[in-house]
Amino acid sequence: MSADTGYAAARIGNWEFDHRSVRVLRYALGSTVAMTVAMGVNWQLSFLLPVLSLGFLASPAPRPSLKAGFSFIAIVAVSCLAGLMLGKYLIAYPIVYIPFTGLVLLRLFYIKAGGKSPMLMMWLLIALLVIPLITMSSPAVANMVAGGILLGATLTIFLIWLSHGLLPDPDDFEKEPGGTPAAAARPAVPSPADRFLTAAISTLVVLPLFILFYAFQMTSSLLILIFVALLSSQPGFATNFKVGKALIIGNAIGGFAAILFYELLVMVPEFGFLIILTFFAGLFFGTRVFSEKPGAKLYGMAYSTLLLLIGSVTAGGSDEASAAVYTRVAQIIIAVVYVVMAFSVADRFMRRKRV
């Protein structure tokens, strides 16, 4: 692949890659390795590993430093411990537990609205929402889930380091084609008032669903809660409802792709074939994610949904996979519809308050 597209070039062995090609290959390779590890080891919530790895793989930021990586792991470990403590000591007192969870959500969404480590915020959301709920039905399973989340976060960092090590960015990545350093295109940080508004709306979307799961102990459908929490933290959702249309389209593409992916696996039920399909799917979606086209983000959502669905289905075992794939697609649809409708109501309410 040549560098005549205007991107800086890098030579890896005897091959020359432009920067976009390096990103696409790393996106496909990293997600494939993550899927291989997740499905090969198959621990509690292992299917989240490839999904949450995509956030790092799609980011233009360089790979995390050693300090940043181990700090990430340490914070997730503390959050898992906090989730276990909440489930053990506080979850039996709803008058205290629900407001406390609301404040935690508000704080996490506020931090994320400022652009601070969005991937870390996603891991923390999952740990602090899921672990206490599972404790209600089985403290032993909650311990395994906490360990699984910590293992997933740890493996995510090491897989990102591995992906960047195998496919590093070109040395002159930060330069324009003419050789001058490119200006860092950092998004403007919203004002504290805007950040609070965004965080408040996201909290109001997630908290009622969390209360529903808490009241009826709906641990068998936690995928819906996880997906709603992840979607609600998408940038711009609380201030631009047009994202809702893109969200529906992106996840619809991912759902249909997951069904096709699964039907191919049924015809060739081999672990190696799963890995091959994942790699080629990563290449297909990766070329579109890094295409700089208006709909590029749709394909990122689609691939994330694909990995989430296939991972959660294949992790459940072959006996239940046939029915589970369509159940999971239905759960994703429910989550997307809920998020879009909830943000629509919140958007209209906030507009009326401002008038």
pLDDT at 171: 53
pLDDT at 79: 92
What percentage of the chain carries pLDDT values higher than 70?
81
Sign of the Cα torsion 286, 290, 293, 296 reads: positive
Q: Contact at 8 Å (CB) between 309 and 254?
A: yes
pLDDT at 321: 55
Phi, psi of 221 (to 5 degrees): -120, 30
Report, in angstroms and rounded to the nearest whole number, the Rg of the chain calculated over CA atoms.
20
pLDDT above 80 for 319: no
Q: Rounded to an integer, what distance in angstroms lies between the CA atom of residue 310 and that of residue 60?
A: 26
The Cα-based distances of 320 to 44, 144, 222, 316, 326 in angstroms read 17, 22, 17, 7, 11
- Using left for φ > 0, alpha for ψ between -120 and 50, and beta otherwise, residue 165 falls in alpha
Q: Rounded to an integer, what distance in angstroms lies between the CA atom of residue 232 and that of residue 163?
A: 28
pLDDT digits (tens, 9 = 90+) for 276-295: 999 999 999 999 999 877 77
Mean pLDDT score of the chain, rounded to an integer?
Answer: 81
Q: Where are the domains of the chain?
A: 18-177+191-354
pLDDT above 60 for 8: no
- Of 29, 117, 129, nearest to 79 (Cα)? 129
pLDDT digits (tens, 9 = 90+) for 104-137: 999 998 988 877 777 788 888 888 899 999 998 8
For 245-297, give the DSSP string. Answer: HHHHHHHHHHHHHHHHHHHHHHHS--HHHHHHHHHHHHHHHHHHHTS--TTHH
Confidence of residue 338 (pLDDT cuts 50, 70, 90): confident
Q: Contact at 8 Å (CB) between 86 and 130?
A: no
Q: In the structure encoding, which two tokens stand for residue 330, read together?
A: 């239905």
pLDDT above 70 for 242: no
pLDDT at 309: 87
Q: Give residue for tokens 């409802």.
A: 241
pLDDT at 162: 93
Confidence of residue 198 (pLDDT cuts 50, 70, 90): confident
Q: Rounded to an integer, what distance in angstroms lies between the CA atom of residue 83 and that of residue 100?
A: 12
pLDDT above 60 for 207: yes
What's the full length of the chain, in residues?
Answer: 355
pTM for the whole structure: 0.81
